[in-house]
Amino acid sequence: MPSDVFIAINSDALYTMSKVYIGRALLRKGSSDLDEYQLWASLALELLGKAALAHKHPSLVVDPTHSPSMFVAAGINVTTDVKTITAKTLFERLAHLVPRFDKTIQKFCLEISERRNAELHSADIPFRAMRLDAWEARYWHACDTILLHMGSSLEQWLGAADAKAPRHLLDEAAKALDAAVKLRVEAAKEQFEALKKVERDRLMAEAELREPQHLAGLFKGSYDEIWKECCPACKCRAFMTGEQTGEDINEEWDEDAIWEIVDREFVGEEFHCPTCDLTLMGSDEINAAGVSYIHKDQQEREMEYEPDYGND
């Protein structure tokens, strides 16, 4: 990674500026200016996200169609007019970089950035229409997810004294989510167990015949993989889908071919049980239900080589 990148895409500089902006946000909240509170908070979130990408590599935050910016990302400072990616691209990339930054968080982050753009570039007043309890806890959750991936925390980002309120909100939101998911699982379990035994047995037998490749229509989103899970409510075969976050490739040789052994890792985004209709959205709900949102598998594939030309 280049050590001498322009300050506009330097991870430490972006992180520091995000701290400045969240400080301004909390000052506005303290004076009951909730419109500006959300405005500064949305800017802080975007800068924090860019800091996380730049921490991995500064090329992840520059506009790939602007070649001078790509040079700067490589440590060659040919311009001070560095162009960076849009908020939409930022949150899409964070979803690939940060395992717990799932579709639910991504959607929330995009919505707050769109409200900010409408606030700044039109006569609309979208922030005024948003109640504090409709966005604040989810905001701290999104920031906390990014910060934990960076090895930081809300307390470090805000300063220990200022972090109590958002940490309290985050803890309360997490408790509420945990309780709601457990009740959802328990309700699905009770409904299934209320069926006659012969009906339960029939449904469980049908569930065992279902295979992942036939069930893409179960899910709202389009993901990299679908895999089998045991439903925490009815114990039937259920399914989860999510994005691939990494793979490790090793080669094995035999007399006829070279094989790649690919260990893959996925993060679950959606869980659905066709038998009892239990649905879980996002890694937090999946985790709260007692189901692992991390999935690993192994594939074998034969390496293919193009024929050599001009060597005969």
Q: Where are the domains of the chain?
A: 7-162, 196-302
pLDDT at 171 over 70: yes
pLDDT at 125 over 80: no
For the segment 174-185, the average pLDDT, to the nearest whole number, is 85
Check: CB of residue 272 under 8 Å from CB of residue 258.
no
Both structure tokens of 187 = 């309700």
Both structure tokens of 115 = 């409200």
pLDDT digits (tens, 9 = 90+) for 95-111: 988 878 888 889 999 99
What is d(CA 241, CA 225) in angstroms, rounded to the nearest whole number? 6
What is d(CA 47, CA 175) in angstroms, rounded to the nearest whole number? 28
* DSSP 3-state of 227: strand
State the pLDDT at residue 102. 85
SS3 of 73-95: HCCCCCCCCCCECCHHHHHHHHH
Environment class of residue 30 by beta-carbon count within 10 Å: exposed (0-12), middle (13-18) or buried (19+)? exposed
For the segment 20-26, the average pLDDT, to the nearest whole number, is 90
For the segment 33-60, the average pLDDT, to the nearest whole number, is 91
- In the chain, the percentage of residues whose pLDDT exceeds 90 is 36
Q: Which is more confident, 124 or 247?
A: 247
Q: Which is more confident, 257 or 203?
A: 203
For the segment 265-276, the average pLDDT, to the nearest whole number, is 93
What is d(CA 112, CA 96) in angstroms, rounded to the nearest whole number? 20
Residues near 43 by beta carbon (within 8 Å), at least 6 away in sequence: 21, 116
Longest dimension (CA), the chain: 80
Question: What value does the mean pLDDT of the chain take?
Answer: 84
State the pLDDT at residue 100. 81
The owner of tokens 């993989």 is 225
Helix axes 164-193, 136-149, angle to 10 degrees: 100
What single-letter DSSP state applies at residue 272? E
Is the torsion defined by CA of 150, 156, 157, 162 positive or negative? Answer: positive
What is d(CA 289, CA 232) in angstroms, rounded to the nearest whole number? 7
Q: Which is more confident, 43 or 158?
A: 43
pLDDT digits (tens, 9 = 90+) for 272-294: 999 999 999 988 899 999 999 99
* DSSP 3-state of 266: strand
